[in-house]
Structure 1
Amino acid sequence: MFKPVPVAIGLRYLRAKRRNGFISFISLASILGIAIGVMVLITTLAVMSGFQREIKDRMLGMVAHATVSADGQTMEGWQHAIDVAKRDTRISGAAPYIDTQALLRGARQEPAAIRGVSPEAESQVSDLAAWMVQGSLDDLAPGAFNIVLGKELAQWLGARVGDKVVVTTDFQVTPMGAVPQLKRFTVSGIFEAGYQDFDRRLAVVNIQDAQRLMRLGDGVTGVRLKLHDMDRAWDVAADLAQALAAESRSYYRVSDWSMENANMFRALKLEKTMIGILLSLIILMGAFSLLSSQVMLVTDKLADIAILRTLGLTPGGVMQVFVVQGTLIGLIGTIAGVIGGLVLTFNLEHILRAIERAFDMVLMPSDVYYVTGLPIDLQAGDVVVIAGVAMLMAFLATIYPAWRAARTAPAEALRYE
């Protein structure tokens, strides 16, 4: 089979037993350094992606993919808006909602967001019913003035199912002055979404009770939408707002899940990027070891380089010899790291369980973390990028030693041989 001379010589140098055993040790260290760096980076990013997915799933279980609300006022024709939304095949569910801020008082006081929902329609846009740990969402009957609290909010209020909490929403101007609007609600259920912003800051009531409490008549804050493809949330909500505006000549405000939680998603993305950059330093250390071994190899092979030059091998050919050898070392380390990373990632849960049994400890206690297992989301794109970065670092590490070998003068190298 045809094989270019520089490639054949580079492969020969890779397999040959070297006179200086220290060079072989440095080459092995560079392979291990690259392999360990790739393996750790793949596993770490898979775990971080898993936690991000877990947070995203829990958040989107309570947050609609998109919302359409009236601009600066209550939305009156919300039933028509839902009818229009249901005609759009991209929308899987729509439900009205009311949002307001209130002060809740039980054994203690705590501010919270009050959300008025329709129990029958809420399952179309959120997983609130699935997160109920006590009671049922169906207990929010209109006129009963029942309330469902987040688990942490209930703990802070000192309220249990069956207890009464007083909801203070706003002040009403009367001849006697500003009087707060108060209403006593009965705790009918407690939910745990596994996301602190909801478990600590959200209380849910029937939408008709919220309308009476806030004196909105038949108005609502807006309509929440759930889509088949949440990445198209903004476009779909904007189309719905335009359709409603064309009919009523009113303006509507549109927001989607990424806008409402933009800071959190940016922070998660930045965290993953920074961790990836920092762990890439392990691969960089392996690349520096490769650079050192290649420089020592060039020094060790000066006589061989001089002989190859006298036999007609061009400086470019000499450079290719060492580039091929160094790149193959990087390739071996990268492949070993990818295989090790995949094996470690898919068995990480078992490894953690073994550590817990061996040391009689719980690494992720349920009273501290919302997830007791270790979420893993191994993305093919991350593996490809990590492997590409490792190969690029290995290739760059071979350029200087190869360039130095190409500059070797045959007469100078053979003078003392």
Structure 2
Amino acid sequence: MSARDLGRGPVVAIIGGGFSGAATAFHLARLLPAGAADIVVVEPREGLGYGLAYSTPDPSHRINVPASRMTLISGQDSHFADWLEQTGAILDDAEAIAANGALYPQRRVFGRYVESYLQPFLFGKVIRHVRSAVASVELSGQGYILILADGRTLAADALVIAATHPPPALPSALRSVAAAARLVANPYDLGGLQAIGRDDQVLVVGTGLTSADIIATLDRNGHRSRIVALSRHGYRSRSHAVLPGDPIGDFISLPSRSATVMLRRIRATILDAKRRGEDWHPVLDAVRRQGQIIWQALPLDEQRRLVRHLRTLWDVHRFRIAPQVADVLDRRVAEGMLAYRAASIVGAEQVDGRIRVTLRPRRQPTQTTETFDRVVVTTGPAHADIFRTNTAIADLGRMGLVRLDPIGLGLATDSQGRALSTSGRPTDSI
């Protein structure tokens, strides 16, 4: 029996209470008429709005874009920055102010900001927070029964999937040392990170945002030995522009149907911007803002080509690191305590309590062997493994209500965010 059958508004169950889940609950609560829906957020953490990204206790983990560009409310770009000023949330954090005056607070501060705007709705019982995780999902008439990790059940008429990113997949070359105590396969395993000694030589597999977080954490913890950060291309996440600028470029009036043509247009726009004294930052900002239309204009085969050949390059330019974190990386590189490598791991073994890895440097026929005290995997979320790592979503997949997108970037949805079923039709209630 659903809530509608009892004469109440439908139950909207939001699976996950990080930023996405909390923001969804917030906007439903403020935009729907009173009593129009029973909004329930299933999230094991004590507070809503934090999730994995914004619950980190590490002060070296900062938001990756200026506070002036982060907001809970679309169209109010300064909403978070105004909250910071009104609450004095960063008065005791002198490092939050970058050299150019932009604010990069610790990430948990953004979680507090989101939580503060949900509190009135929680107190007024417009939003309910169920502290648990969803272990499995069953169909019940036109709705769903959520079986929670603590054994409770929750009936729902509609679901919002706002689950956290899945953990990274272990590279196949490291499976031979999967049971090694000195392998940190999940970079969010705080215990594994805390076990890394100050003098341990560390291999960080991956050179993106998570890699930067791990290195910043180790540095703050007093790590003073060698760190090698490795990926196939060796690209490091880029820093922000010293001075912000308006986006440059129009890529959607006549959107490209070819990934190659699109890349040429972007490069030509960057060259034109440089001739006018700008750099690549505002051009990539324009691509980001226009990204959905650019992406949807590409045929599926071209989308696959783009992901296969350009995703790494896009990620390091799109997902930039805070200046404070960039300073840590730059300092360690200058001191000879951090090196970036373009190479692939082709094998690994445990030797005398350490991990020996065999590497193939990019575009080189020879292999090299190095031994590390710790290996940390930061290769990014394994979205294609979501059915394996999230049992609730796997249940929905077995029912045919959701499916993976054909490129392996996550769940397939339509332009309105509705999940696509295995038949390709949108599932209105998900």
**TM-score of the superposed pair, with normalisation by structure 1:** 0.22
- If asked which structure has higher relative contact order (CA below 8 Å, sep 6+), I would say 1
More helix, by proportion: 1
Q: What is the TM-score with the length of structure 2 in the denominator? A: 0.22
**Which structure has the larger Rg over C-alpha atoms?**
1
